[in-house]
Chains A and B, each alone.
Chain A
Amino acid sequence: MQVKIGIFLCDCGGSLRNIDFPKIRGNLEKLEGVAFVDISHNLCLEEGGKALASRILSEDINRVVIAACSPELCEHNFMRLLESLRLNPNFLSIANIREQCSWAHKEDVTGKALELLRMAINKARLLQPLERKEVPVNQEVLVVGGGFSGMESTLELSQLGLRATLVEKGSALGGKLSELEGFYGLGASPKEMLGSMTRAIEEGKNIEVLTSAEVTRVEGEVGNFTVRIRRGGEEFPRSFGAIIFATGYRAGILPRDFELRPSVNIISQRNLIEILQAPEKLERKPETIGFILDVSDESSRLATLLVLNNALAVKEKWGSEAYVFCRNLKVDSDGAEKLYREARATGIAFLKFEKKPQISEEDGRVKVEAKDVLLGEEISLSCDILVVEEKGLPPEGTEALSSILNIGLDSQGFYQNENVYLYPVDSGRKGIFLVGACRGDLDISRASMDVASAVMGVCELLASGKAIVEAEKVRVDPDKCRACLTCIRVCPHGAIRLVRVNTEKEVAQIYDLACEGCGICAAICPAKAIDFEGYTDEQILAEVEAIGE
């Protein structure tokens, strides 16, 4: 098919005054394959669009070059317009003469604008059509981890009519909910919450629960994952369209934080909660209780909440004196500020240290020595019980799972790198989401927000049962591929797999729906077997070519 290019120059309502549009037109009209050069004042408005459409049809062109504002703003609309004219949307090339040319320079930039246009024209000549294709997606969703986050995800999915399978490692659902006594800021107690959620899951439609089960392998891509699940002695494969991981966390005391090991008098938050639940374990009521926070670092949002919550509980149940040692109290979580005020009002004392307090045991009591920086005084407190901070740590098996999934961990070992582009619940692999405590969001209100985002993400992908992809935008040429596996290793989105084409040969194949179109594979393939339509080597170099002209 012979290339016939139509060029539209938009002067943005006549505001791009440092570009001489007629001069550019005169220059471009002479180029080979250029059918016409139009100057418009408002391509983005309805009338501009109409004029553009009628010119495309009447001149029967097959490549459209537009010089206008940033493609960030206009590309999508122009593509849809071409589509409506039955012209392949990939036959569009845009020169950004506004943000990156007219607006960016004071002087006359006709020369630069002309060069940007030549770059776009050079590229347009090489563009190939891309077909949009429908691919079916499996609408079943796997949820891994049956704590609050996993249960909530399952319930929300089922309400939206998607089938969910909940896989829990333990013998019952609940995760941390089943271990907790009280909650701050929430109406229901954890037990009540667990009770009503469990009932809802039992009654819910489209829900399957597998307890004492684990995921051992994940293969395939979004819309079509094959997951191996181990339960009891057997292992079986199942297919899902998307996966939500809600594997939670494990609470622990970091040994480097305290020289003294936990003992009868030095206990964890969880021990305290157990005692609060079963006070008969106590020989006598503790009169003075100390709490300590922020010893190794200050990332203790949940720990702060627990301290406030538990200090109030001991005050209420036993009438004990409570002292909280902390660096900077973090009250930015839901309801924390209120809790703090309540704690102060009931007479709980807060002591602010900068240097790590000294802790020692004497006569069955615990002595805490610290310098309070507000009072400027050395303080020595002898307490019956010292409750030390537990840190949220990733659950066992996180590393193993992350390598099964081929997704990264952050500096603390939780899922999800600190990458803004993944925020909040993406994993880097399309169709795999991470919610709740397993990505370090340790409290329920944050976990709920994660769940809502992930469920929305799942719906976007699976709700209609099919997805539209640009077929083979990034494509491996099976004749050139030598199956060196480099691309499979480097693809950051896990979108490439090896397939057998005949008895002798295996080649890499890109799964359109999982591919996010970065082109890393195209740049790295040693056999130059991968082409990325729109950004092929030839197309990029054609743009470069125009620079010296």
Chain B
Amino acid sequence: MGGNNKIVAFCCENSACAAADRAGKIRLYYPDNVRVIRVPCAGRVDVLHILKAFEKGADGVLVMGCQEEACRHLTGNTRARERVKYAEILLKESGIDGERVRMVNLAPEMAHKFAQEVSEMTERLKGLGPTPIKNGGPQR
């Protein structure tokens, strides 16, 4: 493992966590560089959490919540999307590619989408190389 493609995935416990569990259950075998942080709702995720993840060594961040119009907490997923957008702007200002953060909507059954998003982000990160924060920073 290691390399420059560590992904932090903030996952809503009502949808994305279940999708991730299911992906394991049916052995979809996605890249093992992703770390799921369980949150009660994508709406709990703050811009601060996303930025800190990069500061602490993440190369990409996924925020994963319920389907559009079908959020367990009604507006949590739209708020999360707004925050991801804002984080993207802040990242760009500090010279970090906005492509490194992404909002994903999925239903609890969507194991394939979960695995696919992780794989796609991994590929993207390979293309982008290390973040400016990591360059010269501590690495394992």
Contact = CB atoms under 8 A, between A and B. Distances in A.
A181 to B, nearest CB: 39
B46 interface: yes
Interface residues of A, number: 49
Contact of B39 (A101, A419, A420, A519): A519
A543 B76 contact: no
Given A111-B1, A523-B46, A419 B74 contact: yes
Of B1, B6, B57, B83, most A-chain CB atoms within 10 Å? B1
Given A104-B32, A109-B32, A408-B74, A544 B17 contact: no
Contact of B48 (A105, A115, A537): A537
A418 interface: yes
Nearest to B29: A106
B69 A418 contact: yes
A99 interface: yes
Contact of B43 (A72, A111, A518, A548): A518
Contact of B44 (A112, A408, A518): A518
Interface string B1-45: 100001010000110011011111101111010011111110111
A321 interface: no
Given A116-B35, A119-B37, A408-B74, A537 B49 contact: yes
Contacts of B1: 111-112
Which of the four size classes fits the interface of chain B?
35 or more
Interface in A524-549: 524, 532, 535, 537, 540-541, 543-545, 547-549
Contacts of B28: 104
Contact of B70 (A96, A109, A421, A537): A421
A413 interface: no
A107 B32 contact: yes
A529 to B, nearest CB: 14
B131 to A, nearest CB: 12
Contact of B24 (A99, A112, A547): A99
Given A71-B38, A99-B25, A421 B72 contact: yes
Contact of A99 (B20, B57, B73): B20
B73 A516 contact: yes
A57 B30 CA distance: 40
17 contacts: A101-B32, A104-B28, A104-B29, A420-B107, A421-B70, A517-B40, A518-B43, A520-B44, A523-B45, A532-B44, A540-B37, A540-B49, A544-B52, A544-B56, A547-B6, A547-B57, A548-B140
Given A99-B20, A100-B36, A419-B74, 14 more contacts: A99-B24, A103-B27, A104-B20, A104-B29, A104-B30, A105-B32, A107-B32, A417-B69, A490-B75, A517-B40, A518-B44, A522-B44, A532-B44, A535-B40
5 tightest A-B CB contacts, nearest first: A548-B57, A519-B44, A99-B24, A103-B24, A518-B73
Interface of B: 1, 6, 8, 13-14, 17-18, 20-25, 27-30, 32, 35-41, 43-46, 48-49, 52-53, 56-58, 66, 69-76, 79, 83, 107, 138, 140
